[in-house]
Structure formats: C-alpha cells, structure tokens
Structure 1
C-alpha cells in the first residue's frame, strides 16, 4: 500500500522545480546571455573546426589509400618494369583503364600518374583533367619527372609508405586544368615481387575541390582559414591573401591573428578568440583555430585550420531573449501547476515500468527503466525484482556456458584444441559445395607422424601428448588463417586447403609442413624430430565426395610412407604408379605367353623328323 506522504512530496517537488527553474532562467538570461552565446558559438566553431580537420585528414587518407591500391596492383609493377612492345602496350592500356576509373570516380583528382624508376623518372601512364573531362597523355608528351621531389624522395621510401608534398600552386608544364591550382601531391613506391622499388604512383589532388566538398555541410556564414606550418595562408576568405609565398609577398596567420602564435610555436593545439572579449584580436568575429599534424607521424609538419563567424550573427538571439524570459517564466509556472495536478499519472508510471519489466524479463532495455534509486515502496519492489532477475539470468548464463562448452568438446580435440573428425567433415562438405558453386578446387592433406611411435615408446605418453600439442601448434603456424587443420586421432592430422589455384599450392604447403615437422622439438628438455608422411587428394580431380577425398588422401599417405618416410605424394601419382605397374604386369604376361607359343611350335615341327 502506497503511503499518503508520496502525494505531498511529489507536489512540493514539482512546485519547487517550477519556481527555481523560472527564477534561475530569468536571472541567468539577464546577466550571462551575451557571454554564454559567444562561448557556445566558440565551442561550436571549435567542434566544427575539429570535425573539418578530421574530414580533411580522412580525405588525405582516402587519397593515400587509392595510391596504395594502384601501387600494390601486380600489373602496376609489371608495367613499370617493361619497355615498349605489343604485350607491354596491351598491359599498359589495361592498367590505364583502371587509372581512368579512379579519375572518373574522384572528381577532386587532377592527375594520376605511374612514373618508372628507369629513364630518369619517365611517366608511363598519365591522366589529366581538363574542361572537357579526362585526357590521357601518351607518346612523346609523357615527361621525365625524376628531378621532382615527389619522385626522387618517394623512390627512397619503403613499399607502403606515403609521400605527401607541401600544398602549393601547380606550375608544372602541360598539366591542363591543374595548372595554377592549389595542389596536394601524394605518392607511394611501386615494388616488384622481390620488394625492389621500380616506380612511383602519384596522385595530384585539387585542394580547393577537397575543401569545397568538406565545407558543403558548414553554414553559409562560416569563413574558412588554412595555413601551412609557417603560417602562410592557403585558404582565406580574401583570395588575394592566399599563397603569398608564390607571388613573393607572404601573408601570415600569426600576423593577422596574434592569438594564433602559440599554435605555430607548438605550445597549444587549439585557440578560441572572439570580438566580445578580445576586440583587437578578432574584430567583429568569433574564431576557432586548431593545429593538426600533416604528412603522417614522421617529421614535424602540421597545418592550422580555422573557422570564423560574424559576431553580429552570434548575438542576434540576444535581442529576442528579453521577450523569451517572460514566456519562459509563465510556461514553467504553468508547468509546475500542471505537474502537481497530474501527479497521479506520474505515480502510476513506475508501476507500468515494473509490469513491462516483468513481461520482458531478459530484455536489458526494460531493466534500464526500472526506478531502482527511489526510496519508497516502489523503489524497494524494483530492487527486489532486479535482484531476482539477475539471479535467474546468472543461472541461465551458467547453463548456456555449459552448453557451449559441451558443444565445443563435441567438435574439438581435447588434447590439441583442434577440430575433430566430425567438425572437419562438416567443413569439408560445405567447402565442396562452395567450391562447386564457384567452380574452384580444394585439397585434402592427410598428415601422419613418422617418428611418433618411437617417441611414445621411449619417453612415455605424457611427453607424446606434449609432442602432439607442439605439432598442432606448428601446423597452425605453417597454414594460412583460411586453411583448416584437424586431428583425426592418434598421430594423424588432416588439412583442408581452399582457393582458386589449390592444385599448384598443395604440394608447396605439404613441403612446408614436412619442413616444419622435421625441425627438432624441445619437449621437457628432450630434443626430438617427428617427421611426417603426407597424402594429397584434390577436388574435383580425385573425388567429388568428402569421404572419398579423405580415403584417397589416406591411401596417398600410406603410399608415401611405404615408399620412404618424410615424403608427400598425390593420390593421382598413386593411380599413375598403379597403372604403370599393371601395364608392366600385362606386358610380362604377354611376353610369357609368346615364349610358350614359340616353344610349342618348335615341338610340333620336330615330331615328323623323329
């Protein structure tokens, strides 16, 4: 039964909230509205500046990722190493189509180039952007760029690193629409199969286009500032103040806004200034500046990004605040009376929450709404209910954990933790279905340890178990994450390999397994070598079912073991050997019959003479 005092406490509470809210709102609005608006505008600008900086960095990372994609394509390294010829031109044209697609899908890219290390940094593939679209530069119009930093510096990088140029005006000859535009160049090395750098991929990005796309979500009254690490304006509302170093007249941010000097001295990472508290530093504006690293972790390069908003726009709401104060006081007072009248509804709401929680016992969202912090009878009931739910859930969790543990034990080997035969066969059957759908192959490798019986007999079963665990660990280290290794029992393991060229890869993988298992193991201070014989069966060449693939791999393994331990053999090789043996037996039989026939004929010819 609910206490009568609850109604009184709730009525007093609601009345106090209404009176205090109305008084505090009026007082705070009268004495702090201007400072509050300006401060909120500054923080909003700072947040927007941080987000704009993150988006700018993300845009540069996207360009870097595109350059890495182009540089790591196998065809890129092949084209960079080949001279002119029909085959080389065909490969170059195919690769050029990929570069063209990148330009089509990234309108902010002004140029995409593949530059070879040979011939003084000669361009092999080059796409420019002009007013009519994309232009592929070919033949004699391709230029040698070995003298530019974005080429000779990038050639010294290790594969995977990104060269980021300073942001400058593009003055290179014959760059079509890129000429005279603020440009950011990103390059990355192209490496051959041996890791030797054979060329570079360079992407020229339009700085103005990137910022225009990033500024699309900003309000129209925001102004953007961007400088390099020396303070030269790269972006400014007044275009005449940008890239002054390119025209011999430097315009620096720290001279225009003295409050930003700590950013360039790297004593601060962000600065806010406004015309209300600092009219000499930001006349009629609210500004926020942040310093962000540029060109990766190495070096000490950075940019300073800033946003500005007119102070008049920030304070425009203050003129309407006086009228809002009266409305707010009336609204809050009326709300206090209304809440006091409707306290019965508020009183029954916790009961509805308890009923909802009871019908959704294990739903976390229902539990979050329980009034657990209340000190009255409803709070006691809610806490008791929550404790009961937690105990039930704990028991259910224990039961689920036991079920998961049993399920794992049913499909995995207890000693090595590897999948057992049942799980392997399920995986193999699903892999066969997937390979059939994709028209690909797969391989099954049956691995039998050659020296395990001697180790077991010499050192005992406990050492033998540790050897099996070590062998399982070595097999997982040798195989790729996509491959599967399982233990069938005893010293027998089975491996599943999937992929488009598995027939060529399976012998190499078998050789790596044998090499790993031939290494000396150290178990309990004993050095021992296990060794293994491996049988290989392929799908669909050797069989189309999981059981037959396993049996064929087993047969190939026994053939390899009988022919000499520590060897691998394909099932097709076993069939070929059997076929050759049968042909030899047939040939021997025919020879024997021929000799018998000759002897009979000679005997018949000799009888009349006798």
Structure 2
C-alpha cells in the first residue's frame, strides 16, 4: 500500500489556504487602510519638515543680512583701519551703539564682534550676552582672534560674501552665556574704499534658542531631529545623544537611521521612513528627513532636519474601523497556526532526523533512526543518504590506511622496516630534551657491519638485502622494548638507549649485539658471518646535540674497526687513548733530546 506523499500533503495545505482566503482578504484590507494612513502622515511630516527647514534657512539668511548691514556702514571700515581698541574713540563708540541695538532686537544673537585684520585679528567692538543681558567687552579684555578659522577664512572672502561656520559647541575663553552652547557663526568681510578687505564682522547665533523658537508651534507628539553636515546629532529627543563630538563620542544620524545616508552623500534631498514598511529603521514611528542648505551666499553648509510621529497616533483613527476585521483575522490566524504546527511537525520530524544523521555522519546510533522504511520521498532520500554514508565511510577508511602507509614509508627504511635517519633524528632530539629535563643520560651505539661488502660482492645484492633484514631482526631481538634501533643507510645501523641505565647498559648491549651478529647466518642455503664494529657516545659527556653524538659514535666505531674488527669502543676511551699517545710521544721526544749531548 502506497502511503500519501508530500504532493498529497501539500494539496491538503493549499485547500486550507483556500478556506482561509476570505479572512485573509479582510486582513489585507485592514492593512491597506493602515498603509494609506501612514503614507498620508509621512507626506504631512515631510511638508512640515521642509517648512521648518525653510524657516531655519530664512532665519540664518536674516542674520547674514544683518552682518552685511553692519559691515557696509561707512564708519565700520574707518574704525577697523584706524583704531587699536584702546582709549577713547568717538567713531568706535557710535558704532558700538549700533551693535548693541542689533543685539537687543535679535535675542538669538549670542555675540557680535568687529575684528580688524591688523593686530593679529584684534577685537575692536564686542558684545556678549550673559545672564543679566548684554555685556560689552572693552580694553585689555579684547582678544586676538586671527588664529581662528572663522576669522582668517572670512578675511579671504570678497566683500559681500557670507562665511558660515560648522555648528560647534562654544568653548572660547570668556564667552559668557555662550560657553558650552551650540553655536553657528556667520561672518562677512569689511572692505575699504579701494575694495581691500580690512576686517570682519562676526555674529554668533544661539542655535538652541533659534531651534526652540522655530519648533515651538509643532504638535506635542512630534519629535524633532537635527544633524550637521557630518551627521552629528544637534537635536535629539534623547539629550544624551546630542553633540557627541564635543563629548568624545560621536553619535551619527546615519548610524541610527541608515536610510538617511544618501542625504549626507547629497544623493537625495528627502527621506521618508515608516514603521510598517521598515520596522528596523523606524520602529513604531513615521519619520521624514530633509537636507537643507543654509548660508545663501555660499550654500556649502547644510543641515538634516527630521520630524517623527508615533505610529500609534497615526493609526488611532483606523483602530475602531478595523476591530471587527482584526477579530476575524485573529480567529483564522489561530486556526492557521494550529494547522501549520501540525503540518510542520509531520514534515520536519524526518528532516530533523536526516539533519542529525548528516552532522553525525559516522555515528551508528544516528543511522539507526533514519526513516529507511518510509515509502515516500523522505524514505527514498533517507535510503540514498544511508548508501552515500556507507560509501564515504569506505572511502575514508581506504584513505586513512593509505595515509598511514605513506607516513610509515616516509619515516621507516623500506628494506628492514626499522626507523630511517629522519625519524631517528626526531627521536634522539626528543630524547635529549627529555634527558636534559630529567638530568639523566642516554647512549648512542653506531653499528657498522664488518664483512657486509664481501658478502655483497660474493653473493650479490639480493642476498645482501636479505642479510640486512636478518641483521635488523637480530638487533630488535637483542634490544629492550624501550631501546630504538634505526638504519642510517648501507650497512650502518644506530641504536638509542635512554634512561639512567644507559651509561652502564651500553657496553653490555654492544657486546650482545656483536655476539648476535657473529652468529652464523643461513641465507638461501648460504652460510655466512657478518660481524660488527660498534662505537659508543654518551650524553652529555660526549656531545650535547644529536649531530655531535652521532659524529662521536661514528669516530669511536672507526677506532674500534682500526683496532680489530668485532669490537666496540666508547668515545671517551678513544679520547683517553689519543691523549695517552700524545703524552708518550711527548715523553719520548724529551728523552731523545736529553740523550743527544751524551752521545
């Protein structure tokens, strides 16, 4: 009997979707109504934001116009050319009254200054706003401002142009009420009769006060955002996020609302966000952002203004209208959820089993739970997966065996099966490190066969190879399991003896090796005796490195071979014998010199 497959189950699911179509239609009607309200709210916010930006630009342009008026007064150029700010000066006092009048009628102005090009940009007239009203700074309290960008940049302008500074927090010395406030500076150059720029007029604007005045008529549920041309928040509902660049941590609008990045790249001039379409960007809000240039003469400065309205307020009118539709949608949603759970459990359970088996590919218990007996598509998939797993396991076993064989071939002699020179050097270096740590010794025995060349020449290389294999076998029989024997090449073998016993055991082991190799060998019906000469070096007396120990053991072996084959010598005995010969030769030479006069 064929059980229903996925096609049948999906058909049942589509039938359920058809039953739920009427409820879904009502739900999406409600959603469409919500979308329409949000779009209308967005357009309204965008219009309000643009209007607010226009009012801001107009207010800045008005301050710029005031600066042009002050700079164009006939007495202004005369004062900046002839005055040094000290002592009585009637034209300066008359001009100061005009500046004071401008400050009285423009409450957003924090400071007005007349600065001459001479005397390192000295302030000639300066009015500050403090807690008690206007304050005039005079005499020695006037400061040199030629090093500030808003002075030397404005001096570089041609007459009639307006310099607009970046929006910053005022930290200049002696700024009175302006200290620590967000400030925008506007400046314009002062020219003499010949058109030469001789000074500047600088007006500092209380940006916070200006913005408070501009947004005073906004609805109470509107939230206002303002950022400078780099994206730093100047106004934010959370006051701790404003002017972050002045507090050592920048909080940028494009980081908080990534969709506004094109505004700062000047790729677009307005952005609309709403929480229905972009919940990640505008969670629970509808927002409108507008890039607005200001400073009419230059246009190089701009701000980004934003207005936000809670999504809940926007959708309040649709709540009652959609109550019945929402109740209907909720009922069908519960039903759809119940069906989805049943279908998902039935469909994904075998898939979970397959996923677990895939992540535990070689675990037998995972394979036992595979739905191999199912007759639908999942059963076919499980059986295919099981066959694939068995094939992979078989291939992996073969690969691991080949890998082990390659490692063995790389580190062992192919003829005798003993470790080769490379593996032996690794073992002796490790043994030296361990002996150094434990403050113990070790011994190296260099074994060279005495009559192998004659055997090779007499019986051929085939017999010679079998002789080497037999020698290796006898070496392993003589040695303990902890000792290491290796073939260096040709008829040379090497033995490593570790531990505290190495010093005393080395001569005895050398004797056993010589005895074993002096025993008769029977190879392919040929009887022969190999014999061996052995040199012994010990760590640390005869060398501190593997190379030194091998070299000294080799030297001792050659000494043993020269003294007579089938013998062993320790390297220290070779050294002592050489020393004794030198002493005897020296004594003989001395006796000869003493006997010469007598003769």
Larger radius of gyration: 2
TM-score tier (shorter): 0.3 to 0.5
TM-score by length of 2: 0.48
